[in-house]
Amino acid sequence: MSKKKISRRKFLVRGGLGTIGVLAVGTYLFRNPIRRVIAEAIDSGESPYMGDTSSPVIWFEVTSENNIVLHSPKVEMGQGTFTSLAQMAADELEVSMEQMKVIHANSASGNMDGFATGGSTSVASLWVPLRELAATMREMIKNKAAEKIGVSIEQLSIADGVISEGENSISYAEVVADVSEWNIPDTPVLKDIKEYKFVGRPIPRVDLKDKVFGAPIFGMDATLPDMLHGAVVRSSAIGATYIDADISKAETMPGVVKVIKEPDFVGVIANSLIEAENAKNTIVVDWKVDRKWQTSDIEAMIAVGQGEPYVIQKEGDAEDILSEGENIITSDYKSPIGAHAQLEPNGALAHVEDDTATIFMSTQVVKLTRDEIAERLGLDEENVNIVPTFLGGGFGRRLHTPNAVQAAVLSKAVGKPVKCFFTRKEEFQNDTFRPPTHHVLKAKLSEDGMIEAIEHNVSSGDVAHGSAMLPSILEPILGSDIGAWRGGMIQYGAIPNFRTISWRVKLPFATSWWRSLGLLANTFAIESFMDELAIKAKKSPVEFRLAQIQDDNRGFRLKEVIKAAVEKSGYTDEVVNGRAMGFAVSTDANTPCAQVVEVSIENKEIKVHKVTCAMDPGIAVNPDQVRAQCEGAIIMGMSAAMFEKMDVEDGQLTPTIYGPYQMALMKNAPKQIDVVLLQNDDKPGAVGEPPLGPIGAAVANAVFRLTGERLREMPLQLKSSKV
Amino acid sequence: MKISFTINGKSQSVEIADENTPLLWVVRDILDLKGTKFGCGKAACGACTLHVDGEAVRSCSYAIKFVEGKEITTIEGLGNEENPHPVQRAWIEEVVPQCGYCQPGFMMATAALIDKIPNPTDEDIDKNIINVCRCATYYRMRKAIHRAAALNTEASSSTETQIS
């Protein structure tokens, strides 16, 4: 169907896409209120889809075998989106799962996401539009079938993509075969969710076999005839600016086709990857480096009180109550620089010919990458085709992929396809890191042991600011960083007085989106502090929290996940058989998630035996994959909270390899993870990031119960060992 | 120089200028078997794990000169859709992969493990399966490794029954 014409395509256009830009610009004068409104909007998890939903024709194809190909504008990086989208489409299209094939939509197909794959929004944002597109396509085909058979639509029934009336039957493939013009009907009423056969069921991943049998599906696996290999010199030093390079030796190295010097980089093109790398290593670059940064410099910058404060949440008068007087409790917490460390390095295969460019790559930002290449090469955007591949991990690392521009420049220089990837050392030193944070929590308890006032101050490097995804016009309005805010709000609405203040720090190296953004560190700080307050108030940490949650829908959902996690885990404050439990809960993008961990100390190290996770993402389109996301996020969160840390030594980020960059491995993974899914919302919400929230605080809280040692800094390491 | 070996059951010769070229790049770029992955180039992550004479080897740091006369197995030769290896069956039944990039390396490491230790304990798994998975699918992997061991034992005992 992809090349057919549409006679009318005006319905299905969804009005009023509330982008942050539209929301913010024009209310510039009311800075503080609008900042809080935006903060609330981000916190609410509403995420409209920003792409073309005007016609099913650019979304679906029908093959001659009567299969349906869905061209997904969202990329698959492990989060299971392809499978959920296939389930949603199959139910409205009335085809089987076996008939559904999902591929990445290339940018030239017209089905391009205007923004990105990220923020746990893929399934949530496409929940309505994709089902409407599938239902519309079903009706389009059904209308044509009625014409062909010569009966009224009401007489037709559909099963597995075959339309029947009495003894007559015709497949979707047969219906569409000779149709060149489609009438698009009014958007049909969607089916009742109870009628769905696939949505809500644990369907195996649609990409399972490709991934188990080693199919060449990733960016690094892409090849083209006559392909050459590129290598670009990248600096090891923070803040290095390229000045010039001596390429005389490189030009004589075996296998080298060409060495090119551009105004901003130098690169090699050779016959093989090894030859390109060997030649690259002989290039002597003149870098301009202003300063040799050290970890201590960075730590001094990331401190509450430095720079400008921005109030992003305010209720009552926490400022006055906490500014003076006795019995004010204060603690501070820290998190380090984190690396993405995704297994597939960044890179691209580019083929630039005359006035067109084709790029195969793993990216979370198809449109942005296309536009950057078009600008650099002076091509029309329509003539740059980004062909997204499966991603060997995303986690936010591919929310800006300017390396594709370099691959395209190299390809143009030799007139052949060129594949160019980062080395692992280059990945570690040129990452867009999770920024380090510093948090100061202050509170005052009332006489009955409840929180009278609480304040969270967070200092963080940028997440969204400075990234290519946030219009710079918004910086003065937002002040501090919307990504750093994530998870930073006080979620206990029954507390009479609370405030959150964000302090923005501009670091000398790139910091950006890392799965869950600020959630991991913010929840670590706030939920550790809640535990400290509960202990001070001599209350159970669970009851202490429940009593301070407001009575609205959001509060109800939060309380329900807490109760479910406690019930499933049998949470107790007591130490039993050398093991203690820890509890924490977060709300991220409107998905509440509570976790209970069980830890012991073995060989002076924290050992996590079991994690119980109760989460309410609303409708779980694929409950098995929601569970998989919880399991993975819990261990990834443990890895970040307990092991990972980048340092700055003599102007370089270090370490530069797995191992020295410590991560959770098989031996560190809990042997039991119980996931309880609640569904107190009537639509799918965020899944991929929310379960990263509670884990750090839950582990720290358990360690305190076991050892009496309060760990306030990630990675969590015991200073003394009492068990 | 010319180097001859067997890969996935087939005899193969390659002509290569630098005998220190890592086996990984010969497998991926000359033989076009893309299932074996590049992760770090320093034998630190295990994404490039394949078998040389039945041993799990990190091919990014294994020079091509050392494979002369040896038998190599990659994920493509471990099994296929029609005839999956017990490890691949277990991986499918437990729905292990997320992004999937590191999974061939883990499956090759697991196949080598259960070949040596048919019923690995959790401690055996912790000690021997030391690859890196950033999606952190370790919880399902552990279940899949135990399942693969059970399927493997089942398969070999039914073969023995047929023989007897």
Angle at the Cα of A129 from the Cα atoms of A125 and A131, rounded to 5 degrees = 110
Sequence-ordered list of residues with C-beta below 8 angstroms from that of A77, at least 6 positions apart, any chain: A117, A362, A364, A390, A391, A393, A394, A395, A398, B99
Q: Which of A82, A209, A629, A87 is nearest to B92 (CA)?
A: A209
Percent of chain B that is helix, strand, coil (3-state, to 5): 45, 15, 40
Confidence at A368, pLDDT banded by 50, 70, 90: very high
Give residue A181's pLDDT band: very low, low, confident or very high (50, 70, 90): confident
Name which of A332-341, A511-520, A540-549, B130-139 the model is least confident about.
A511-520
CATH classification at residue B109 = 1.10.150.120
B92: distance to nearest CA of chain A, Å? 7
Cβ pair A393:B80 closer than 8 A:
no
Q: What was the pLDDT predicted at A475? A: 66
| Same-domain pairing of B68 and B23 | yes
Picking from A78, A273, A669, the nearest residue to B98 by CB comes out as A78
We find that the CATH architecture of domain A219-289+346-421 is 2-Layer Sandwich (3.30)
Q: Tokens in use for A221?
A: 């696996």
Quote the CA–CA distance of A463 and A433 in Å, as a whole number. 9
pLDDT digits (tens, 9 = 90+) for A61-109: 999 999 999 999 999 999 999 999 999 999 999 999 999 999 999 999 8
State whether B9 and B48 are in the same domain. Answer: yes
Q: What is the model's pLDDT at position A57?
A: 85
Residue A251 banded pLDDT, cuts 50, 70, 90? very high
A609 touches chain B (CB under 8 A): no
| Domain residue limits at B136 | 86-159
The predicted pLDDT at position A1 comes to 38
My answer on whether B69 and B97 are in the same domain is no
Residues B58 and B90 in one domain: no
Q: Examine residue B54 and state whether it is found in any structural domain, yes or no.
A: yes
Q: Are residues B70 and B95 in the same domain?
A: no
The span from the CA of B68 to the CA of B23, in Å, is 11
Of B29, B40, B97, Cβ closest to residue A273: B29
User: Number of A:B CB contacts under 8 A?
Assistant: 170
Are residues B46 and B99 both part of a single domain?
no
Residues B59 and B100 both lie in one domain: no
User: Are A628 and B98 a contacting pair at CB < 8 A?
Assistant: yes
Chain-chain contact of B34 with A628 (C-beta, under 8 angstroms) = no
Check which CATH number belongs to the domain holding B69 and give it.
3.10.20.30
Nearest C-alpha of chain A: how many angstroms from B114?
A: 16
B80 min Cα distance to partner chain A (Å): 6
Angle ∠(A297,A398,A76) on CA atoms, nearest 5 = 145
Determine whether the interchain pair B25/A632 forms a contact, defined as Cβ–Cβ distance below 8 Å.
no
Interchain contact A657–B (C-beta under 8 A): yes
Q: What is the distance in angstroms between the Cα of A205 and the nearest Cα belonging to chain B? A: 7
User: What's the token pair of residue A469?
Assistant: 């995804």
Q: How many CB atoms lie within 10 A of CB B13?
A: 9
Region class of B9: left (phi > 0), else alpha (psi between -120 and 50), else beta: left
Q: DSSP characters for A114-153?
A: SS-S-TT-HHHHHHHHHHHHHHHHHHHHHHHHHHHHTS-G
In a domain, B50, yes or no: yes
Inter-chain touch A342–B134, beta carbons under 8 Å: yes
Interface of A with B in 382-421 (CB under 8 A): 390-395, 421
Residue A250's pLDDT is 98
Looking at domain A5-205, its CATH architecture is 2-Layer Sandwich (3.30)
Domain contains B151: yes
End of a domain among B78, B104, B139? B78
Q: Hey, are the CB atoms on A272 and B29 less than 8 Å from each other? A: yes
Of A170, A187, A188, the closest CA to residue A179 belongs to: A170
What value does the mean pLDDT take over residues A13-20? 25
Domain ranges for chain A, please list them.
5-205, 219-289+346-421, 296-338+432-707
| A208 contacts on B by Cβ (under 8 Å) | 92, 95, 97
pLDDT at residue A28 greater than cutoff 60: no
What is the distance in angstroms between the Cα of B12 and the nearest Cα belonging to chain A? Answer: 20
> Judged by CB atoms within 8 Å, which residues 208-237 of A form the interface with B?
208-218, 220-221, 223
Residues in chain B with CB shorter than 8 Å from the CB of A342 are: 99, 134
Partner residue facing B80 (CB), from A77, A213, A629: A213
Contact check, Cβ <8 Å, A78/B135: yes
Question: What CA–CA distance (Å, rounded) separates A694 from A593?
Answer: 7
Q: What are A634-685's pLDDT values in tens digits?
A: 999 999 999 999 999 999 999 999 999 999 999 999 999 999 999 999 999 9
CB within 8 Å: B92 and A208: yes
pLDDT range class, residue B161, cuts 50, 70, 90: low
Is B124 among the domain residues?
yes
pLDDT band at A5 (very low <50, low <70, confident <90, very high): very low
The 3-state DSSP class for residue B87 equals helix
Among A82-91, A173-182, A316-325, A557-566, which is the least confidently predicted range? A173-182
Mutate to test the interface with A, among B27, B29, B134, B142 (most CBs of A within 10 A): B134
In a domain, B164, yes or no: no
Average pLDDT value for chain A: 91
Report whether the peptide linkage leading into residue A715 is cis, meaning its omega lies within 30 degrees of zero: yes
Assess whether pLDDT exceeds 60 at residue A110: yes
Same domain assignment for residues B14 and B72: yes
Domain end, chosen from B49, B78, B107, is at B78
Q: For A689, which residue in chain B has the nearest alpha carbon?
A: B135
The pLDDT, as a whole number, for residue A115 is 84
Tokens for A410? 């190299």
A-chain residues near B25 (CB < 8 A): 272-274
Min Cα distance B68 → chain A (Å) is: 20
Q: Are residues B93 and B65 in the same domain?
A: no
pLDDT at A179: 84
Give the β-pairing of A356-361 and A384-388. Answer: parallel
Q: What percent of chain A has pLDDT over 70?
A: 91
Number of domains in chain B: 2
What are φ and ψ of residue A42, in 5° steps? -65, -40
Tell whether B70 is covered by a domain: yes
Token duo for residue B59: 């091919």
β-strands A309-315, A256-261 pairing? unpaired
Q: How far is CA A171 from CA A132, A143, A300, in A?
A: 21, 13, 68
HEC readout, A614-669: EECCECCCCHHHHHHHHHHHHHHHHHHHHCCCEEEECCEEECCCECCECCCCHHHC
User: What confidence score (pLDDT) does residue A55 get?
Assistant: 83
Q: Note whether A214 contacts B74, CB cutoff 8 Å.
A: yes
**Substitution target from B101, B110, B128 for chain A, most A beta carbons within 10 A:** B101
Q: Does A624 touch chain B (CB under 8 A)?
A: yes
Same domain, B96 and B130: yes
- The candidate with the shortest Cα–Cα distance to B66, out of B57, B79, B78, B77, is B57
- Residue A484: per-residue pLDDT: 82
Interchain proximity A212–B101, CB inside 8 Å = no
Name the residue in chain B with its Cα closest to that of A662. Answer: B132
Average pLDDT for B142-164: 83
pLDDT confidence tier of residue A18, bands split at 50, 70 and 90: very low
Q: Check residue A183 and give its pLDDT.
A: 82
Mean pLDDT value across residues A619-632: 98
- Is residue A490 over pLDDT 60? yes
Q: Which residues of A touch B21 (CB under 8 A)?
A: 274
**Disruptive mutation site among B19, B40, B143 for chain A (greatest number of A CBs within 10 Å):** B40
H-run or E-run covering A428: helix A424-429
Does the ipTM surpass 0.95?
Answer: yes
Higher-scoring residue by pLDDT: A1, A480? A480
Q: Scan for tokens 């839950």, then name that residue.
A: A698
Chain A residues 265-294 within an 8 A CB cutoff of chain B: 272-274
Q: Which pLDDT score is estimated for A44?
A: 63
Q: What is the pLDDT of residues A425-481, one digit of tens each?
A: 999 999 999 999 999 999 999 999 999 999 999 999 988 876 666 666 666 666 667
Same domain, B46 and B98: no
- pLDDT for A366 equals 96
- A 438-497 residues with CB < 8 A to B: none
Question: Which of chain A's residues have a Cβ under 8 Å away from the Cβ of B22?
Answer: 274
Tens-place pLDDT, residues A572-610: 999 999 999 999 999 998 999 999 999 999 999 999 999
pLDDT confidence of A184, banded at 50, 70, 90?
confident
B122 or A21: whose pLDDT is higher? Answer: B122
CA angle B90, B95, B96 (to 5 degrees): 85
Label residue A29 by pLDDT band (50, 70, 90). Answer: very low
Q: Is A244 on the interface with B (CB under 8 A)?
A: no
Closest residue to B138, CB basis, from A204, A221, A635: A635
Boundary residue ending a domain (B78, B95, B113): B78
Whether A631 sits inside 8 A of B136 (CB atoms) is yes
**Assigned CATH topology for domain A296-338+432-707:** Aldehyde Oxidoreductase; domain 4 (3.30.365)
